């Protein structure tokens, strides 16, 4: 009797379980489509000429495969402006990433390893500015910069981006977890100076956290639009984001500039690829960073 | 031998590391690059702009000190408050949808139900890697009537292509772009917080016969409440600063997205197009005050709820 009821119950429960699982998978796949179809559309659109964009279905290729022509046009139009923008973005993102991660590592390490007067106050200020969005600083910065000679120079964008309060916060948490104090004490007894300890011992232990801050600073600078739009008046110093938005506005305003659409689309793909590749290869680091960031 | 080493190294130390005062300076030296930059590029511009906002350029007689007059004007400025209203409507619509989805995805992907969750985690996160300008460009084409796939499908089905960038449709349309971009990012923050919960905690509840839903509502969500609060605060702050997406979409919908559609667009146009630097500084500060008030209200609401769970 009992064995019979058991065998009756089991398949039903299993069945309910698999239905729930099926529904969940359908739900998750629908949203996977929502998140990646626009990117697939963009990639397909980058292979089309202007006529192809208008004449063919968005999620399938046009008769003529125009990616090579689009790339050629993209890299030559307006005296190769796009290449200049890519170069500016690269300079800007690399200096923001290297500079801000180093500055954050130094500051975070100091907060984690030393007891000093004003430590809590200073860290409180850092923490408070994590919650102040960059745009709040962008406008005053623009007002100030427009009075100085710095306006229109890439430095006006690079210098402010060297500061990352969130990076300091992240490096402090990381340094507290990753650096055993006994190790530093041992090095001190051996006579190593504080800066040598940082450069040779602590920095190596901080490296995973350092790469996380580096990655987020790189992406933040690469994708930034508001500050560069404000402080950079000339096309020669534009980053890709400002340049693409500019071309798109030309294409939208003047029918004679409609030929710019394929360039904006292909440029969007080229301008996004480096960040995507970086995220794919450095998965471990950004996942670490998000995990650390969510710890109170 | 080791004693000799120590005394030897003391001699070779530079001045700032000798003695007690030298030792005390060291943490400040580590902090100097950050603090110097902080003062020059964050504090000083703020002071400069604050000072600027107390003046007004007159047509006759040049610039004169007007005290808080610009702020009085800002508080009565219909354009400014229309922008604030727009971003609040946007936030009330977008933040619950985005964080609700992010939480649901995080709970599902953290459970045992789903295998191969990496493809979903990566796929959902991918839009975060796209610059917001590019995201706005893509969705601008999707909403458009010319070569957007939505209009193409509607025409193929002999339907009228839907209009998105209308006065009533514009805010949901921009909300969709933000949701597309940032849901995956918020999901990963919540997912990381869920991963930090020790498994034994729900094993015990499961043995007691609790369902997955009960475990999610009574154990997992309350434990990650601080992470949820963090995502909520950052979303509120980001919402008030809304600029990139509407500014890029202005090309396709210039009449709907006017020059004061969001407070930041207003500030930008006041300073950039109208050269009203002093007044735009006052608006920027008023916005900062509104932001601070709202995000501390969110913080307070979350912590009060955490302190006495109903």
Question: Who has greater pLDDT, A75 or B198?
Answer: A75
Rounded distance, CA B227 to CA B230, Å? 5
CATH number at residue B218: 1.10.3720.10
* CB within 8 Å: B46 and A38: no
A31-45, A87-101, B30-44, B106-120: least confident range: B106-120
B47 and B76 share a domain?
no
> What ranges do the domains of chain A cover?
2-45, 67-294
B48 and B113 share a domain?
no
Give the predicted TM-score (pTM) of the model: 0.88
Name the CATH architecture for the domain at A67-294.
Orthogonal Bundle (1.10)
Q: Is residue B64 part of a domain?
A: no
Q: Domain range holding B40? A: 2-52
B252 and B161 share a domain?
yes
* CB within 8 Å: A122 and B139: no
Structure ipTM? 0.88
What string of DSSP letters covers chain B? -HHHHHHHHHHHS-GGGSHHHHHHHHHHHHHHHHHHHHIIIIIHHHHHHHHHTTEEEETTTEEEE-TTHHHHHHHT-HHHHHHHHHHHHHHHHHHHHHHHHHHHHHHHHHSSS-S-HHHHHHHHHHHHHS-HHHHHHHHHHHHSSSS-HHHHHHHHTT-PPPP-SSTTTHHHHHHHHHHHHHHHHHHHHHHHHHHTS-THHHHHHHHTT--HHHHIIIIIHHHTHHHHHHHHHHHHHHHHT--HHHHHHTTT-TTTS-TTSSHHHHHHHHHHTS--HHHHHHHHHHHHHHHHHHHHHHHHHHHHHHHS--
Q: Is residue B150 part of a domain?
A: yes
B76 and B34 share a domain?
no
B18 and B81 share a domain?
no
- pLDDT at residue B268 greater than cutoff 80: yes
B99 and B211 share a domain?
yes
- pLDDT at residue B173 greater than cutoff 90: yes
- pLDDT at residue A97 greater than cutoff 70: yes
Residues of B in contact with A106 (CB under 8 A): 30-31, 33-34
What's the total number of domains in chain B?
2
Write out residues 6-65 of B within 8 Å (CB-CB) of A: 6, 8-10, 13-14, 17, 24, 26-28, 30-31, 33-35, 37-38, 41-42, 44-46, 48-50, 52
B298 touches A at CB < 8 Å: no
Residue with tokens 């993102």: A93
- The 10 Å Cβ neighbour count of residue B187 is 28
Q: Is residue B57 part of a domain?
A: no
Q: Are A213 and A130 in contact (CB under 8 A)?
A: no
Q: Angle at CA B201, nearest 5°, toward B200 and B203?
A: 60
* CB within 8 Å: A104 and B193: no
B204 and B270 share a domain?
yes
Which among B77, B51, B46, B53 has a CA at the least distance from the CA of B282? B53
CA A245 to chain centre: 18
- pLDDT at residue A293 greater than cutoff 70: no
Q: Are A63 and A192 in contact (CB under 8 A)?
A: no
The DSSP output letter for B11 is: H
Average pLDDT score over residue span B233-241: 89
Average pLDDT score over residue span A90-94: 96
Q: Is residue B63 part of a domain?
A: no
Q: Is residue B233 part of a domain?
A: yes
What pLDDT score does B16 carry? 52
């Amino acid at each position: 009797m009992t064995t019979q009821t058991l065998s009756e119950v089991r398949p039903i429960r299993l069945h309910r379980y698999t239905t729930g699982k099926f529904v969940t998978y359908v739900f998750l796949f629908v949203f996977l489509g929502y998140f990646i179809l626009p990117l697939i559309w963009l990639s397909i659109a980058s292979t089309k000429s202007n006529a192809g964009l208008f004449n063919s279905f968005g999620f399938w290729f046009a008769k003529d495969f125009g990616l090579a022509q689009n790339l050629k046009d993209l890299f030559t139009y307006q005296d190769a402006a796009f290449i200049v923008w890519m170069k500016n973005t690269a300079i800007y993102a690399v200096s923001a990433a290297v500079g801000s991660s180093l500055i954050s590592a130094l500051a975070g390490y100091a907060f984690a390893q030393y007891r000093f007067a004003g430590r809590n106050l200073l860290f409180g200020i850092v923490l408070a500015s994590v919650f102040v969005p960059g745009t709040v600083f962008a406008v005053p910065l623009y007002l100030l910069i427009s009075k100085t000679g710095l306006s229109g120079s890439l430095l006006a964008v690079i210098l402010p981006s060297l500061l990352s309060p969130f990076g300091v916060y992240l490096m402090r948490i990381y340094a507290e977890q990753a650096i055993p104090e006994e190790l530093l004490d041992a090095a001190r007894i051996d006579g190593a100076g504080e800066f040598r300890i940082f450069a040779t011992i602590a920095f190596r232990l901080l490296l995973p956290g350092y790469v996380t801050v580096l990655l987020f600073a790189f992406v933040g600078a690469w994708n930034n639009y508001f500050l560069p739009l404000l402080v950079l008046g000339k096309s020669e110093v534009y980053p890709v984001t400002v340049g693409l938005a500019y071309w798109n506005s030309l294409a939208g305003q003047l029918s004679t500039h409609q030929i710019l659409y394929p360039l904006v689309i292909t440029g969007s793909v080229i301008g996004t690829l480096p960040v995507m590749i970086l995220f794919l290869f450095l998965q471990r680091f950004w996942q670490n960073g998000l995990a650390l960031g969510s710890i109170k | 031998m080791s004693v000799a080493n120590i005394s030897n190294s003391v001699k070779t130390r530079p001045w700032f590391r000798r003695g007690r005062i030298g030792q005390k300076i060291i943490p400040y030296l580590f902090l100097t690059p950050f603090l110097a930059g902080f003062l020059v590029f964050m504090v000083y511009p703020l002071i400069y702009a604050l000072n600027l906002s107390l003046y007004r350029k007159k047509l006759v007689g040049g610039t004169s000190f007007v005290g808080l007059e610009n702020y009085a004007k800002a508080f009565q400025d219909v354009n400014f408050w229309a922008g604030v209203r727009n971003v609040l409507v946007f936030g009330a619509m977008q933040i619950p949808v985005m964080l609700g989805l992010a939480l649901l995805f995080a709970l599902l992907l953290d459970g045992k139900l789903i295998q191969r969750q990496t493809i979903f985690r990566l796929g959902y996160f991918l839009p975060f890697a796209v610059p917001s300008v590019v995201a706005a460009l893509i969705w601008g084409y999707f909403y458009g009537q010319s070569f957007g796939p939505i209009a193409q499908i509607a025409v193929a089905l002999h339907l009228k292509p839907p209009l998105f960038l209308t006065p009533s449709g514009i805010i949901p349309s921009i909300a969709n772009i933000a949701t597309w971009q940032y849901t995956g990012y918020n999901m990963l923050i919540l997912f990381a917080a869920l991963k930090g919960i020790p498994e034994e905690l729900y094993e015990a509840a499961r043995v007691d016969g609790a369902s997955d839903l009960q475990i999610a509502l009574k154990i997992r969500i309350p434990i990650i409440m601080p992470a949820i609060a963090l995502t909520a605060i950052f979303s509120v702050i980001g919402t008030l600063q809304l600029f990139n997406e509407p500014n890029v979409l202005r090309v396709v919908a210039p009449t709907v997205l006017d020059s004061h559609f969001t407070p930041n667009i207003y500030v930008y146009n006041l300073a950039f197009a109208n050269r009203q630097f002093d007044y735009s500084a006052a608006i920027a500060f008023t916005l900062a005050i509104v932001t601070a008030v709202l995000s501390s209200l969110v913080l307070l609401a979350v912590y009060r709820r955490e302190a006495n769970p109903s």
